[in-house]
């Protein structure tokens, strides 16, 4: 197992994400304890020492099961991470109640790593108004008491929202968890978000390295191209080798659901075989080509923006359009667009086509925005 010395700790480069544990029911609420126990033991025996949990995983059952089976090991052999569910309205104003319940559920004495879960457009104001909501200050107090060793956050927001968060808390956040993989490098502006963390010297933790398993079995359109990047390397390994090429990435979390996945991931993380520059750009080219094929080939040149009488941030809207298309419907696109004022949303386009005259990619922007607005509109009931 590879390790990184980060935040004053020695962490395995691979962490076990506990949101897709083996379950005995279809709704993934009843965790198969025997299989989970076996996976935890195998992970620790094979050098994995980071276990990532959250209040919401498996309907709230994951934290209890994680604590139950991790406690059988020496406390220094595992690092337990969990998260404050700031995306749930009922959590706001109840940091203490949630944290105390988590302490009781996990019963591991303290959390090595504690995250504000999914800082985004919908909850950023609660975090920023600490005088009123006391979220960050509450967790800082727990840190001073030794109940939290390292405080960080996870984020699915736009770079602008992340920048606002970092402007306020960049000096106290010790790590930041991003959805980052070769498909999201441009699609979800993960590249920009990773650069922002870099600017604040905050190490990057990776979530969704395989985009919820999708990159383990990529779309047919991508398969033959992917095989040519590093012949003989499987899809999963390629996705992880991409992440090994990013120096600020210090933790890769994978939500593993069975022993085969765990064994294969441990094998991959037994060595660093980062991509060469050529392989790296080849992989991104394939990903961007796929995104453009599913959505539109916007390069973000912004020539169109000054031609728009509605002052729409066209490339930003097209980024979310692509996200919506590649994900076949996306809560992230809905969230980002939903937080914009009406006059900045796709529906504000008046179809003048001034932008299209200057677009080097010949994107039919007005038509795309019209269809995007229709996709985002709530269904009309009778
Ligand atoms: S077509 Fe829409 S997006 Fe393009 S310039 Fe006109 S209003 Fe702006
Ligand atoms: S001009 Fe075309 S390619 Fe450039 S940002 Fe606008 S839509 Fe994208």
Same domain as 299, residue 278? no
Same domain as 217, residue 125? yes
Nearest CA to ligand 2 atom 2: 359
- Do the beta carbons of residue 30 and residue 61 sit within 8 Å? yes
Nearest CA to ligand 2 atom 1: 359
How confident is the model at residue 298, as a pLDDT? 85
Provide the angle, in degrees to the nearest 10, between the axes of the packed helices 314-326 and 365-376.
60
How confident is the model at residue 184, as a pLDDT? 93
Nearest CA to ligand 1 atom 7: 349
Same domain as 265, residue 137? yes
Whole-angstrom Cα distance, residue 174 to residue 83? 14
Same domain as 88, residue 223? yes
How confident is the model at residue 212, as a pLDDT? 83
Same domain as 192, residue 88? yes
Among all ligands shown, which has an atom nearest to the Cα of 303?
2
Nearest CA to ligand 1 atom 3: 349
Among all ligands shown, which has an atom nearest to the Cα of 346?
1
Which of 222, 255, 282 corresponds to the end of one domain?
282
Which of 216, 247, 282 corresponds to the end of one domain?
282
Nearest CA to ligand 1 atom 2: 349
How confident is the model at residue 380, as a pLDDT? 56
Same domain as 149, residue 22? yes
Which of 237, 253, 282 corresponds to the end of one domain?
282
208 DSSP assignment: -
Query: For residue 142, what is the domain's CATH number?
Result: 3.20.20.100
110 DSSP assignment: S
How confident is the model at residue 379, as a pLDDT? 61
Same domain as 343, residue 256? no
* CB 365 near ligand 2, within 6 Å: yes
Q: Is residue 287 part of a domain?
A: no
Q: Is residue 127 part of a domain?
A: yes
Task: Average pLDDT across each block of 10 residues of the chain; the chain has 382 residues. List them in order.
Answer: 98 97 92 98 98 96 97 98 94 96 98 96 95 97 98 94 98 97 93 98 96 87 93 97 98 96 98 98 95 86 92 94 87 90 97 92 94 84 50
What's the structural domain count of the chain?
Answer: 2
Name the pTM for this structure: 0.87
Whole-angstrom Cα distance, residue 129 to residue 46? 43
Same domain as 175, residue 29? yes
Pocket of ligand 1 from Cβ distances under 6 Å: 307-310, 312, 314, 349-355, 365-366, 369
Q: Which domain holds residue 359?
A: 295-376
Same domain as 313, residue 264? no
Same domain as 253, residue 362? no
pLDDT tens per residue, range 265-296: 999 999 999 999 999 999 999 999 989 888 88
Q: Is residue 288 part of a domain?
A: no
Distances (CA, A) of 79 to 62, 109, 209, 218, 276: 15, 12, 20, 32, 32
Taking the centre of ligand 2 as the mean of its atom positions, its distance from the CA of residue 362, in whole angstroms, is: 8
Count, residues in the chain: 382
Same domain as 355, residue 237? no
Taking the centre of ligand 2 as the mean of its atom positions, its distance from the CA of residue 211, in whole angstroms, is: 26
Tokens of 230: 């590093």
Same domain as 40, residue 117? yes
């Amino acid at each position: 197992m590879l390790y990184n010395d980060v935040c004053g700790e020695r962490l395995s480069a691979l962490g076990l994400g506990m949101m897709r544990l083996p379950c005995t029911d279809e709704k993934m609420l009843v965790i198969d304890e025997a299989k989970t126990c076996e996976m935890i033991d195998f992970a620790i025996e094979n050098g994995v020492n980071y276990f990532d949990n959250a209040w919401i995983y498996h309907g709230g059952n994951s934290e209890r099961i994680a604590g139950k089976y991790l406690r059988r090991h020496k406390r220094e052999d595992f690092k337990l991470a969990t998260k404050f569910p700031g995306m749930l309205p009922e959590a706001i104003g109840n940091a203490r109640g949630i944290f105390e319940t988590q302490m009781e559920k996990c019963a591991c004495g303290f959390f090595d790593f504690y995250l504000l879960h999914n800082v985004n457009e919908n909850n950023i104001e609660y975090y920023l108004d600490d005088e009123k909501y006391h979220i960050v200050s509450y967790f800082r107090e727990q840190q001073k008491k030794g109940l939290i060793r390292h405080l960080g956050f996870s984020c699915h927001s736009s770079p602008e929202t992340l920048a606002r968060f970092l402007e306020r808390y960049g000096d106290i956040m010790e790590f930041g968890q991003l959805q980052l993989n070769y498909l999201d490098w441009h699609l979800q502006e993960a590249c920009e978000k990773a650069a922002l963390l870099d600017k604040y010297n905050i190490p990057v933790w990776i979530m969704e390295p395989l985009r919820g398993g999708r990159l383990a079995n990529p779309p047919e359109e991508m398969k033959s191209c992917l095989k040519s990047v590093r012949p003989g390397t499987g899809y999963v390994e390629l996705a992880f080798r991409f992440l090994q090429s990013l120096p600020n990435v210090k933790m890769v979390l994978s939500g593993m659901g069975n022993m085969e996945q765990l064994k294969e991931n441990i094998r991959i993380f037994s060595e660093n075989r980062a991509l060469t520059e050529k392989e790296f750009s080849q992989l991104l080219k394939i990903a961007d080509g796929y995104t453009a094929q599913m959505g539109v080939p916007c390069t973000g040149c912004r020539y169109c923006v000054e031609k728009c009488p509605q002052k729409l941030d066209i490339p930003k809207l097209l980024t979310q359009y692509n996200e919506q298309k590649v994900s076949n419907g996306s809560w992230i696109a809905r969230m980002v667009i939903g937080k914009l004022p009406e006059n900045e949303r796709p529906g504000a386009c008046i179809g003048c086509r001034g932008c299209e005259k200057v677009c080097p990619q010949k994107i039919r922007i007005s038509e795309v925005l019209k269809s995007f607005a229709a996709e985002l509109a709530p269904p009309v009931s009778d």
